[in-house]
C-alpha cells in the first residue's frame, strides 16, 4: 500500500508542476512537456451558507455547477472554520489561528476588555504573510473579487495585501443591490477597486453577478510574460447568502411554495438525502432543534407566510450564486485552464441563526426599523430580513446549533476540492480539516517552501495549518494525527479537538465532552463519565489559549 501511495503521490507532484495533466494521470513520462507549468488556484467562498444547502451535500436548491465540481472532486464532511466570517477569512489568508492573524474577535463585536490586546486588532495583522502576498512574490497573478472583511483602511485593503487586481466589499455585509453604498465605511457599504474607493455602482448591480463579472474581467486581462501567462490565484468571495436576504424576483419565483411545510420537514428531508449520499449515518445521534421560536406548527399563518418567503429568498440567493460560479467555470474552460486549476469551495461558517424578530444588535434593529419588510416587499432592495434559527438548523443538521458557536453546527462547513491531478477525487472524506490548512496546501502545490516565520526579510507569524497534499495524493490516510490538538475560540465560545474527541463550550463557560465519531450531533456529554479526559483536554485548551493570546470577552456578543 505504501509503494502504491508513493506512486500516486509522485503522479500528484507531476500533475501540479507540469502542464500535461493527461500525461500525469496516465503515467506517460514521454508525453510530459518541457516547460513547467504550475497549477492555478480558485478559492470560492460562500457567506453563511448552510452545510446541506447545495445538492451535493443534501440540499434541494438548484446548484448544478457546484454539484458537478463537488462530485468530481473530494467532498469534505469534517472541514471546519471559525464560527463567524472575518476570523475564518483571516485563517484562510494566513494559514494560522485567527488570534495570531488579528481576528481574535470580529471588529464589530469586540468586547471592551479585548480592545487593544494583541491578536484582537480587528484586521489582518501586518506580521502576517498573506497567501496572495506569498504567491505574488513567487510569480503568481493574484486576483480577488467579493467580500473582504479584513480591514477598512487603505493599508488594510486587499490591494495592499498582495492582490494585483481586486474588487472588494470592505465590510462584513452590505445591501446586495448596492443601495447602501458609501465612501465612508462608518456610514454604509464601501467598495474599492484596486485600492480606489468607488463613488457609484452600476444601476443593475447585484452582488453575486458583479463579483463574478469582475473576476472574469480580471482573468481575461492577463499580461503576457515571455509568451506565456503566469499562473493565477483567484479569490471569489460572495457576500451571499448573508443577510439582508435580497434576490432577483425571477429567482425567488422559482421557489414559491417550496418551503410551506416548514423547517422541521425540510430538516428531515435533507437528513434523509445526506444519508442517501453517504454523507451521514442516521444510526448515529442527530441533535434536536433548538430554535427558541417554537415549532412550525406553533407559528401563526402570517408568521408561516413570512418565514416561507424568507427561505424562498434565501434559496434564490444560493441559486444565483451557483449560476455565477458556472460563469467563472465557463471562462476557465474557454481558455483551457479549468483542468489546471485547483478549485476549493467552502462556506465561511455555519448557517446564520439569528432571530430577526428579536435581534440582539442595535445596528440590525435600526436597519430593520428603517426597512419595508411587508410580505410583498421582502427580498427587495429596501427590505432587511434574515431567515432565523429554524431554517438555519435545517441546514446544519445533524449538528448542534449554528453560526457564532464553536459547536459542529457553527464550524462544520460544506467544502470540497477539485483537481484532476489528485489521487483522491470523486470521493467523500471524513478527515478532520481546518480552513487554516488551505494556505499551506496551495503553497506546497505551487512548489513554494513554507516561509517558517520569515517573509521578504521580516518576521511573520508561522503557518500552523497542515498541507493536504500527502493526503490528497494517497500517501497519508489523514491530515491530523490522533494526538494533534486543535484549539479555537470566538465570542467566548471555546473548542479543543483531539482525534475523535471534542471539548466544547457554546459560550456559557461550561465544558462538554463528545466523541464526534460516535456522536456527530453532540448529543451525549461524556464529561461526567470521563472527567480525566475532559480535564486533560481542558488543559490542552489552556495551553492553546496562552500560545495564541486568547482574551475571553467579558460579555458575549452576537452577529
Residue 363: inside a domain:
yes
pLDDT, average across residues 145-168: 98
Residues 127 and 152 in one domain: yes
Residue 555: inside a domain:
no
Q: Which three cell numbers stand for residue 211?
A: 463579483
Assign 184 a pLDDT band (cuts: 50, 70, 90): very high
Question: What is residue 37's predicted lDDT score, i.e. its pLDDT?
Answer: 85
DSSP element (H, E) containing 423: none
Distance separating alpha carbons of residues 450 and 460, to the nearest angstrom: 12
Q: Provide the phi-psi class of 319: left if phi over 0, else alpha when psi is between -120 and 50, else beta.
A: alpha
Residues 348 and 467 in one domain: yes
Residues 16 and 152 in one domain: no
Residue 385: inside a domain:
yes
Residues 33 and 86 in one domain: no
Residue 554: inside a domain:
no
- 90-118 confidence digits (pLDDT tens): 999 999 999 999 999 999 999 999 999 99
Domain containing residue 120: CATH number: 3.40.720.10
Can you tell me which residue has the cell 459547536? 407
- 474-493 confidence digits (pLDDT tens): 999 999 999 999 999 999 99
**Cα separation values, 112 from 76, 109, 209, 359, Å:** 37, 9, 38, 21
- 488-518 confidence digits (pLDDT tens): 999 999 999 999 999 999 999 999 999 999 9
Residues 443 and 308 in one domain: yes
Residues 27 and 42 in one domain: no
pLDDT, average across residues 335-361: 96
Question: What is residue 224's predicted lDDT score, i.e. its pLDDT?
Answer: 64
- 7-59 confidence digits (pLDDT tens): 444 444 554 444 333 333 333 333 333 445 899 999 999 999 999 999 999 99
Residues 167 and 300 in one domain: yes
Residues 16 and 44 in one domain: no
Question: What is residue 228's predicted lDDT score, i.e. its pLDDT?
Answer: 62
N-term to C-term CA, the chain: 48
Is 149 catalytic? The answer is yes
Question: What is residue 229's predicted lDDT score, i.e. its pLDDT?
Answer: 81
Average pLDDT across the chain, whole number: 93
- 378-421 confidence digits (pLDDT tens): 999 999 999 999 999 999 999 999 999 999 999 999 999 999 99
Range of the domain at 423: 38-548
Q: Report whether pLDDT(317) > 90.
A: yes
Residue 517: inside a domain:
yes
pLDDT, average across residues 443-451: 96
Which residue in 18, 80, 85, 159 is the catalytic one? 85
Question: What is residue 36's predicted lDDT score, i.e. its pLDDT?
Answer: 57
Question: What is residue 251's predicted lDDT score, i.e. its pLDDT?
Answer: 98
Percent of the chain beyond pLDDT 70? 93
Residues 4 and 51 in one domain: no
Residues 230 and 125 in one domain: yes
Q: Report whether pLDDT(3) > 70.
A: no
In the chain, how many domains are there? 2
Residue 104: inside a domain:
yes
Residue 557: inside a domain:
no
Residues 317 and 299 in one domain: yes
Residue 392: inside a domain:
yes
The listed range with the strongest mean pLDDT (18-27, 116-125, 222-231) is 116-125
Which residue in 80, 149, 159, 451 is the catalytic one? 149
Distance separating alpha carbons of residues 511 and 492, to the nearest angstrom: 12
Question: What is residue 557's predicted lDDT score, i.e. its pLDDT?
Answer: 87
Can you tell me which residue has the cell 417554537? 294
Can you tell me which residue has the cell 442595535? 362
Nearest to 425 by CA among 417, 433, 435: 417
3-class secondary structure, 231: coil
Is 120 catalytic? The answer is no
Percent of the chain beyond pLDDT 90? 89
Residues 509 and 431 in one domain: yes
Q: Which three cell numbers stand for residue 271?
A: 437528513
- 522-552 confidence digits (pLDDT tens): 999 999 999 999 999 999 999 999 999 999 9
Amino acid at each position: 500500500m505504501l509503494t502504491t501511495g508513493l506512486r500516486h503521490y509522485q503522479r500528484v507532484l507531476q500533475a501540479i508542476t507540469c502542464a500535461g495533466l493527461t500525461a500525469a494521470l496516465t503515467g506517460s513520462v514521454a508525453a510530459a512537456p518541457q516547460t513547467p507549468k504550475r497549477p492555478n488556484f480558485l478559492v470560492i467562498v460562500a457567506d453563511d451558507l448552510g452545510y446541506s444547502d447545495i445538492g451535493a451535500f443534501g440540499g434541494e436548491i438548484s446548484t448544478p455547477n457546484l454539484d458537478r465540481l463537488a462530485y468530481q472532486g473530494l467532498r469534505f464532511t469534517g472541514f471546519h472554520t471559525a464560527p463567524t466570517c472575518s476570523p475564518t477569512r483571516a485563517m484562510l489568508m494566513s494559514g494560522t489561528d485567527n488570534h495570531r492573524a488579528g481576528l481574535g474577535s470580529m471588529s464589530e463585536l469586540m468586547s471592551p476588555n479585548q480592545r487593544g490586546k494583541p491578536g484582537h486588532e480587528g484586521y489582518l495583522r501586518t506580521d502576517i504573510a498573506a497567501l496572495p502576498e506569498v504567491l505574488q512574490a513567487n510569480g503568481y497573478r493574484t486576483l480577488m473579487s467579493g467580500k473582504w472583511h479584513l480591514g477598512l483602511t487603505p493599508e488594510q485593503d486587499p490591494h495592499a495585501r498582495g492582490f494585483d487586481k481586486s474588487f472588494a466589499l470592505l465590510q462584513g455585509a452590505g445591501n446586495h443591490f448596492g443601495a447602501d453604498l458609501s465612501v465612508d465605511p462608518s456610514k454604509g457599504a464601501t467598495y474599492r477597486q484596486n485600492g480606489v474607493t468607488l463613488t457609484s455602482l452600476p444601476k443593475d448591480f447585484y452582488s453575486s453577478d458583479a463579483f463574478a463579472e469582475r473576476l472574469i474581467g480580471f482573468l481575461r486581462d492577463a499580461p503576457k510574460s515571455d509568451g506565456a501567462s503566469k499562473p493565477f490565484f483567484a479569490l471569489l468571495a460572495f457576500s451571499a447568502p448573508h443577510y439582508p436576504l435580497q434576490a432577483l424576483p425571477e429567482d425567488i419565483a422559482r421557489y414559491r411554495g417550496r418551503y410551506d411545510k416548514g423547517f422541521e420537514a425540510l430538516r428531515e428531508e435533507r437528513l434523509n438525502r445526506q444519508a442517501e449520499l453517504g454523507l451521514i449515518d442516521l444510526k448515529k445521534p442527530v441533535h434536536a432543534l433548538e430554535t427558541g421560536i417554537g415549532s412550525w406548527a406553533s407559528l401563526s399563518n402570517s408568521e408561516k407566510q413570512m418565514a416561507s418567503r424568507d427561505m424562498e429568498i434565501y434559496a434564490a440567493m444560493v441559486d444565483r450564486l451557483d449560476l455565477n460560479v458556472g460563469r467563472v467555470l465557463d471562462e476557465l474552460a474557454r481558455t483551457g485552464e479549468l483542468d489546471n486549476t485547483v478549485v476549493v469551495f467552502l462556506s465561511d461558517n455555519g448557517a446564520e441563526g439569528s432571530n430577526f424578530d428579536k435581534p440582539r444588535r442595535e445596528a440590525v434593529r435600526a436597519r430593520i426599523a428603517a426597512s419595508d419588510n411587508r410580505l410583498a416587499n421582502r427580498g427587495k432592495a429596501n427590505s432587511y430580513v434574515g431567515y432565523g434559527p429554524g431554517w438555519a438548523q435545517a441546514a446544519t443538521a445533524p449538528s448542534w446549533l449554528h453560526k457564532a458557536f464553536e459547536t459542529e453546527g457553527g464550524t462544520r462547513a460544506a467544502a470540497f476540492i477539485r483537481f484532476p491531478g489528485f489521487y483522491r477525487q470523486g470521493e467523500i472524506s471524513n478527515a478532520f480539516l481546518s480552513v487554516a490548512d488551505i494556505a499551506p496546501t496551495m503553497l506546497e502545490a505551487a512548489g513554494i517552501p513554507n516561509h517558517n516565520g520569515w517573509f521578504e526579510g521580516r518576521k511573520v507569524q508561522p503557518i500552523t495549518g497542515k498541507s493536504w497534499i500527502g493526503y490528497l495524493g494517497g500517501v497519508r490516510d489523514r491530515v491530523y494525527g490522533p494526538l494533534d490538538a486543535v484549539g479555537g475560540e470566538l465570542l467566548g465560545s471555546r473548542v479543543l479537538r483531539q482525534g475523535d474527541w471534542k471539548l466544547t463550550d457554546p459560550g456559557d463557560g461550561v465544558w462538554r465532552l463528545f466523541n464526534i465519531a460516535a456522536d456527530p450531533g453532540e448529543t451525549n456529554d461524556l464529561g461526567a463519565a470521563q472527567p480525566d479526559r475532559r480535564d486533560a483536554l481542558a488543559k490542552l485548551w489552556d495551553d492553546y489559549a496562552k500560545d495564541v493570546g486568547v482574551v475571553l470577552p467579558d460579555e458575549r456578543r452576537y452577529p
